[in-house]
């Protein structure tokens, strides 16, 4: 499994990782004045001078492998977290139709009742009280203006009942 360069740039190194990188750089560059080193500096310098170049090379390769493994583990952890987040999102989206109907049953019932009022003569009664107005064309049937006014009133009733009772 390979790690992309962009993910390495965006990931932050832990303190252990940065210490390991610093120690590798110090080993490669040799001891520098003014730079803090972990542990006794003379002990590390003595160990490095006592080792053959092959041994030094092996130690550096091992450290580089450790760094690469730590970076790969961090990338794997990040990928697992992203997969878990995506799974949670999908799980939340997969609400069944029955569950959705149960959750919205109050709204559905309210729409049913208001629809019955719109289509029944009971909803026409307030307009038929004054048959001479422009809302009742022939004295018994409502014209389009009256139907529109009735629909707006019922829509406002739906909004008010929904806001106050259901939510």
Mean pLDDT by 10 residues, the chain (167 residues): 58 68 75 49 59 85 92 92 84 70 80 80 74 72 79 85 76
In a shared domain, residues 74 and 112: no
CA distance 164 to 88: 32
Q: Are 119 and 113 in contact (CB under 8 A)?
A: no
Q: What is the pLDDT of residue 64?
A: 93
Q: What is the pLDDT of residue 42?
A: 52
In a shared domain, residues 64 and 142: no
For residue 143, give its domain range. Answer: 97-166
Q: Are 49 and 34 in contact (CB under 8 A)?
A: no
Tell me how many domains the chain contains. Answer: 2
Q: What is the pLDDT of residue 29?
A: 73
Task: Show Cβ contacts of residue 38 under 8 Å, excluding neighbours closer than 6 positions.
Answer: 19, 23
Q: What is the pLDDT of residue 45?
A: 56
Q: Which of 93, 123, 155 is the last residue of a domain?
A: 93
Q: What is the pLDDT of residue 94?
A: 65
Q: Which of 93, 113, 130 is the last residue of a domain?
A: 93
Q: What is the pLDDT of residue 37?
A: 47
**β partners of residue 136:** 142
């Amino acid at each position: 499994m390979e790690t992309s360069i962009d993910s390495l740039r965006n990931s932050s190194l832990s303190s252990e990782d940065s210490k390991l990188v610093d120690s590798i750089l110090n080993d490669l560059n040799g001891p520098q004045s003014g730079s803090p080193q972990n542990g006794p500096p003379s002990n590390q310098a003595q160990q490095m001078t006592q080792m053959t170049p092959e041994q030094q090379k092996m130690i550096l390769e091992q450290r580089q492998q450790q760094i690469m493994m730590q970076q790969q583990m961090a990338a794997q952890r990040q990928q697992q977290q992203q997969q878990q987040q995506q799974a949670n999102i999908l799980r939340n989206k997969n609400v069944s139709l029955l569950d959705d109907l149960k959750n919205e049953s109050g709204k559905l019932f309210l729409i049913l009742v208001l629809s019955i009022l719109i289509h029944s003569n009971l909803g026409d009664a307030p307009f038929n009280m004054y048959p001479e107005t422009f809302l009742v064309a022939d004295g018994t049937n409502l014209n389009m203006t009256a139907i529109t006014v009735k629909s707006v009133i019922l829509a406002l009733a739906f909004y008010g009942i929904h806001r106050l009772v259901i939510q």
